Amino acid sequence: MIIEANDLTYSYGKNLAVDHISFSVDQGEILGFLGPNGSGKTTTVKMLTGQITPQEGGAKVLGHDVSKDLKIIHEKIGVCFEEKNLYPRMSVKENLEFFADLFDSSMNVDDLMKKVDISKWSDKRTETLSKGMQQRVMFARSLINDPDVLFLDEPTSGLDPISADQIRKMILEEKRKGKTIFLTTHNMMEADVLSDQVAFINEGKIVALDTPENLKLKLGLRNLKIKIRTGKKFIEETLPLDGPDTPQKAKKLLENKNIATVHTQEATLEEVFIKLTGRKLGR
Ligand SMILES: Nc1ncnc2c1ncn2[C@@H]1O[C@H](COP(=O)(O)OP(=O)(O)OP(=O)(O)O)[C@@H](O)[C@H]1O
Ligand SMILES: [Mg+2]
């Protein structure tokens, strides 16, 4: 077990931001932490990376207690923070070199910039970069010490679709190298595509934790949709995949010469989240 949280809890004053949550992540796995604004994702990341100390319960990263062994943990993890905390007056390259020195890392900064596709901004001061550009520099910075565990707090938020996809590909590449990744997102597609396990977090509590496939099956919504052209119009029949007379009905429909489309339909993570919590994920 690379990350292990037991009853992890944190309140800001009377506001119980993270409420006794427990989960674990195996080596080489991605845990997607999916929840709406204010549900406690960043507070959880902060506890797991030692920026704040759990008030109840605790967590271990690589076998080390996050309340005690921070120095050892910090050498072995990479963090992509939600807040962009780069040195504004320093260039992209200077920022990365500064952190490479800090970690005593032998990582070649030019190679890293190439990999994350930010070489073209190498000499720009980071204060002159857009939010999305800074986000990519932050992602590069999280890899500077070739960490065993990555904590990524909404790493694709504010990115255009192509840049977001590039980052997702890099996340999967790190996973392939055996890295363990804790990823927060409010994007259900991202959680679905990247995660081995997804935790739904709502109001500080984990309301479900399973593989994306199992979560989607929870809602039991499995339909067959058959669209048939009738002159200029279409009619669509929706049949429950597990319905007793679905095979006969489907056979009859499929014999029609004017079939436009045939689809199976399963629940999305978003629909399951709404069903479980009564609230939407989107911003
Ligand atoms: N520094 C702080 N001081 C006081 N309250 C805070 C602080 N940071 C977070 N909170 C509160 O704790 C709760 C959880 O916030 P948190 O930032 O962990 O949510 P989140 O899931 O990361 O949200 P988002 O998707 O907006 O990033 C919220 O009610 C928030 O108002
Ligand atoms: Mg957050």
Q: Which ligand 1 atom is the nearest neighbour of the CA of 204?
A: 14
Which pLDDT tens digit goes with each residue over 41-99? 999 999 999 999 999 999 999 999 999 999 999 999 999 998 888 999 999 999 999 99
Give the residue, by CA position, lying nearest to ligand 1 atom 4: 12
- DSSP states of 14-55: TEEEEEEEEEEE-TT-EEEEE--TTSSHHHHHHHHTTSS--S
Give the residue, by CA position, lying nearest to ligand 1 atom 1: 12
What is the rounded distance in angstroms from the CA atom of residue 21 to the CA atom of residue 44? 9
- Sequence length of the chain is 283
**Sign of the CA dihedral 118, 120, 125, 131?**
negative
Q: Which residues contact 14 (CB under 8 A, 6 or more apart)?
A: none
Domain ranges of the chain: 3-215, 222-266
Which pLDDT tens digit goes with each residue over 102-148? 999 999 999 999 999 999 999 999 999 998 899 999 999 999 999 99
Q: Above 90 in pLDDT, residue 34?
A: yes
What ranges make up the beta strands (E) of 214-258?
222-230, 233-240
pTM of full prediction above 0.85:
yes
Number of helical (H) and strand (E) elements in the chain, helices listed first: 10, 13
Q: Which ligand 1 atom is the nearest neighbour of the CA of 82?
A: 27
Q: Which residues contact 189 (CB under 8 A, 6 or more apart)?
A: none
What ranges make up the beta strands (E) of 73-175?
77-80, 149-153
What is the rounded distance in angstroms from the CA atom of residue 47 to the CA atom of residue 184? 14
Residue ranges around ligand 1 (CB below 6 Å): 12, 15, 17, 35, 37-43, 82, 186
Give the residue, by CA position, lying nearest to ligand 1 atom 12: 17
Mutating to test ligand 1, I would choose from 43, 81, 183 the residue with most ligand atoms within 8 A of its C-beta, which is 43
Task: Give the CATH fold of the 3-215 domain.
Answer: Rossmann fold (3.40.50)
Give the residue, by CA position, lying nearest to ligand 1 atom 31: 38
Ligand closest in space to the Cα of 41 = 1
The angle formed by the CA atoms of residues 251, 257 and 260, to the nearest 5 degrees, is 90
